[in-house]
Each structure stands twice: as C-alpha cells, then as structure tokens.
C-alpha cells in the first residue's frame, strides 16, 4: 500500500447563540482499521482513540481556536494537521495521506489485524476456488469436444480434416491446406469453373462444433459482422453458409504471414513496426465507428501481406450493437495475455477495451515480449488487472519517449485514462513515425 488515505469529515453544529454550545464532530474513514488519532490543544490533550469512534470536541477546545489532529498507525510515519477553528474554514473533502515508513518492516498483529487477515484469506480462497472451477470447466469442455470429435470422425470418416483436398465447396475446389486450429481448418480454394480467378481462403468449421448451439451463434455473428465491415485493413468476407450442416466462410486470401510470425525476439524497430501498428489501429477505429468491438486483438489475428498491407481478421468474438452477444453474462472472453483489466473482471467492454489490447500488441511488437510473463493464465489475468507494465524502453532502448508514452497510455488500468478514441491514437503514432 503506497499510503494511508484518511477522509476527515468535519460537521459544525450550532445550537443557539451561546459559544459554549458549539461543537465539532470528527469522524474518520481509514484503511487499515488499526489507525488511531488524538486531539491536541494548548490546554488539553485527548488520549489516542480508534478512528472508528467519532469524536465530539469540547467547548474548551473550540474556545482556544487552534487544535492539532495527530494520526498514528503501525508501519506508517506519524502525521499531524493543525486547524484554527475560529479563523479557518474546514473543507469536507480534505484527504490526509500518511506516508508509510521507509525500509522493510516486520509483520505485526495490531488491533483488528486479525479481521483484516481473515478477510484476505477468505477472498484469496474464493479466488482460488473460482480459478479452479474455471479451469475444471475448461478441461471438461475440452474433453467433451475431443470426445465429440473422435465420435464424429469414427462415424463419418469422409468428413475428416486431411481428406478434403479436391472437394468442391460453393464452386471452389480445395487445393491446399493452409492451417488448422481448434475451431476450423483453412484451405486455399480456386474456382473449378474459372481457375483464372483469384484464389480464396475457405474456413471450414470442424464438424463436431456444428452441433454446439453457442458456436453456431458465434459463427453466424462473425459472418454478419464481417460482412458489414468493408475496409482496406480488414479481411473481406465473400460468402458464408451452413449448407448441409457444413459451416464455412469464404474469405479473401491473404498471401503473407501473421504478425506474430514477423515479431523477432528483440522486437521490431519503430520505423518497421509503426506502419503495421497504425494499420491495425485504423482497422479497429473503422470497426468502432460501426459500433463493433473486436474483443480479441492479438498478433495472431493480424495478417500481413507480402506487400506490407495489414489485414485484421477473426471477428468471432466481436460484439456489435446490432447483434446479440453469445457469451453469457459474467464470463470471461478473449486471450488472457492481451486482456484489458475490465475484460478480466467480466465488466462491460467498450472500444477502450480494444485500445488496451492494442497497447499490449504494440508492447509485444516493439519489445519482442509480453508485458506480463507469468507462467499460468490466472497470474497473467491478475497482472493485467493490478500491476503496472514495465517501460518498453527498458527492454528495447530504441523505442523513443514519444512512442513509449502512447503505448503506456493505451495500457492505462482505468479506461478513462486512455485515449478517448483510436483516431487520437493514430494521430500520435503518426507523429512518432
């Protein structure tokens, strides 16, 4: 804890015109609760009292005019404040900060500390149980999907992953397998009746997922949202269908690599990375202006053509004001390494959540590493919610001060401390290039 915040609340009570009836009530809200205070005057001094107990001054103290309030707490420097009750107006919003003692200090059990420790243990236990429940639920779902996939492959062998080369999908012949993930396999397709036309990418959803209602909604949402977005830096959706219970999306084919594959161990130099980062920001800004939040911004979802043009892809987790969200309220979506603090806390997401993820992507792009490198998912999520990231220039000295300031502001914990919109981010990044 950086300091002890105490809120001093003075309420002046006037009872008739007699000076002796004037009283001042002092009430403190502090953390930790073991802090104490006392009132000192020229003629009288009260003993230290817990801050939880309101204190009413006596008329004698008021007649003196000048009183001093002294605060003390284990592990903190003693602090005093003086007030002239006759000449000085008392502010109801005054905040007194007591600095912690310098150096290491041993753990001491002070009044009410046992309650504080017990509360911390209860909260920690709850977080551990929640993390364990989330992990077990993910494992059960993974096992269920794996079992469904094994059953589906055994029952319909012609629907296998590697035996679709040569098949016709929506007038396109599958000629090459480009990649495979947990949700779908991507093929290169050419028009079987017009091979001179430009090839396309065909994303074929794994057959076992077509029976998952949540995934079906996600698939249709991705197709609808992507079809609404037409921008030079967003992958174009040409067609989508669930024909004969076979889900697929036909996309423009990007000849190039993912941004993750282009990030070297020590990160890209600013002159190389800034043009890429600005294009990602422009794609997101275009989506935001259409009421769409991506919610899964990361290098894997950024494709870079051989000519340097960036294409933002995978709007499967995106949320639009026009389409109902699939994810249940209170659940966590996205990729933990790039999640905004509000995303970790399952709070409502806004365009500023995408901005935070873009800041993490920029950190990764220019340093070659993520801001938080904990081994397990829960630790990374807690770090995004609570810890400040290191300065990017401490990892890559080539990062200029101006660029570092933009990255750190995008990664501000509070959304209100970030840029109001990505249009301003693009302007600042352009000045750095």
Residues acting as catalytic residues = 296
3-state class (DSSP) for residue 368 = coil
Cα–Cα distance, 294 to 284 (Å, whole number): 7
Cα–Cα distance, 314 to 301 (Å, whole number): 6
- The total of other beta-carbon atoms located within 10 Å of residue 260's CB is 14
Q: Which residues pair with 11 in a beta bridge?
A: 25
Out of 2.40.128, 3.30.40, 3.30.70, 2.60.40, select the CATH number for domain 4-111: 2.60.40
pLDDT of residue 24: 57
163-253 has which fold? Answer: Phosphorylase Kinase; domain 1 (3.30.200)
Q: What is the pTM of this model?
A: 0.58
* Blockwise average pLDDT, block size 10, the chain, 433 residues: 40 38 54 67 66 56 66 75 56 52 45 58 75 75 58 39 74 86 83 83 80 72 72 88 75 91 94 96 93 89 94 66 36 77 88 96 96 85 92 95 97 97 97 88
Cα–Cα distance, 70 to 120 (Å, whole number): 29
Cα–Cα distance, 279 to 7 (Å, whole number): 47
Q: Do domains 4-111 and 163-253 have the same CATH topology?
A: no
Q: For residue 90, give the DSSP letter.
A: P
pLDDT of residue 179: 80
- Pick left, alpha or beta for residue 427 (phi over 0 → left; psi -120 to 50 → alpha; otherwise beta): alpha
Q: Tell me the domain boundaries of the chain.
A: 4-111, 115-155, 163-253, 256-433
**Cα Rg of the chain (Å, integer):** 30
DSSP assignment string, 162-217: TT-TT-EETTEEEEEEEEE-SSEEEEEEEETT-TTSPPEEEEEEPGGGGG-HHHHH
Cα–Cα distance, 394 to 265 (Å, whole number): 15
- What six digits make up the tokens of 45? 């001094």
pLDDT of residue 377: 85
pLDDT of residue 132: 75
256-433 has which fold? Answer: Transferase(Phosphotransferase); domain 1 (1.10.510)
């Amino acid at each position: 804890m950086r300091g002890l915040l105490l809120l001093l609340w003075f309420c002046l009570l006037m009872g008739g015109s007699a000076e002796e009836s004037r009283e001042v009530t002092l009430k403190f809200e502090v953390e930790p609760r073991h802090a104490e205070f006392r009132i000192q005057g020229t003629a009288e001094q009260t003993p230290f009292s817990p801050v939880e107990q309101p204190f009413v001054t006596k008329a004698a103290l008021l007649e003196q005019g000048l009183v001093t309030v002294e605060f003390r707490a284990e592990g903190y420097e003693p602090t005093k404040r003086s007030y002239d009750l006759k000449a000085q107006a008392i502010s109801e919003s005054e905040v007194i900060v007591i600095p912690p003692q310098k150096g290491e200090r041993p753990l001491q059990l002070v009044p009410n500390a046992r309650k504080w420790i017990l509360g911390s243990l209860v909260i920690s236990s709850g977080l551990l149980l929640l993390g364990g429940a989330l992990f077990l639920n993910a494992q059960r779902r993974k096992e269920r999907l794996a079992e469904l996939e094994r059953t589906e492959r055994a029952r319909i062998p012609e629907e296998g992953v590697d035996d679709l080369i040569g098949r016709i999908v929506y007038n396109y012949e599958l000629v090459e397998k480009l990649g495979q993930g947990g949700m779908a396999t991507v093929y290169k397709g050419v028009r079987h009746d017009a091979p001179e036309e430009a090839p396309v990418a065909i994303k074929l959803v794994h057959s076992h997922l077509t029976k998952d209602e949540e995934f079906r909604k996600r698939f249709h949402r991705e197709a609808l949202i992507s079809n609404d977005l037409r921008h030079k830096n967003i992958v174009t959706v040409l067609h989508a269908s669930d024909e004969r219970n076979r889900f697929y999306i036909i996309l423009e084919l990007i000849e190039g690599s993912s941004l993750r594959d282009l990030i070297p161990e020590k990160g890209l130099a600013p002159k190389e990375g800034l043009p890429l980062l600005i294009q990602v920001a422009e794609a997101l800004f275009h989506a935001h202006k259409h009421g769409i939040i991506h919610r899964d911004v990361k290098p894997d979802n950024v494709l870079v053509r051989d000519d340097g043009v960036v294409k933002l892809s995978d709007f499967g987790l995106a949320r639009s004001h026009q389409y109902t969200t699939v994810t249940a309220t209170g659940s966590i979506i996205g990729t933990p390494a790039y999640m905004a603090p509000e995303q970790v806390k399952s709070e409502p997401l806004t365009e500023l959540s995408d901005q935070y993820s873009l800041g993490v992507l920029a950190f990764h792009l220019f340093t070659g590493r993520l801001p938080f490198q904990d081994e397990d998912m829960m630790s990374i999520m807690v770090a995004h919610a609570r810890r400040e990231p290191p300065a990017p220039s401490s990892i890559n000295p080539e990062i200029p001060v101006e660029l570092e300031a933009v990255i750190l502001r995008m990664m501000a914990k509070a959304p209100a401390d970030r840029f109001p919109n990505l249009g301003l981010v693009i302007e600042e990044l352009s000045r750095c290039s």
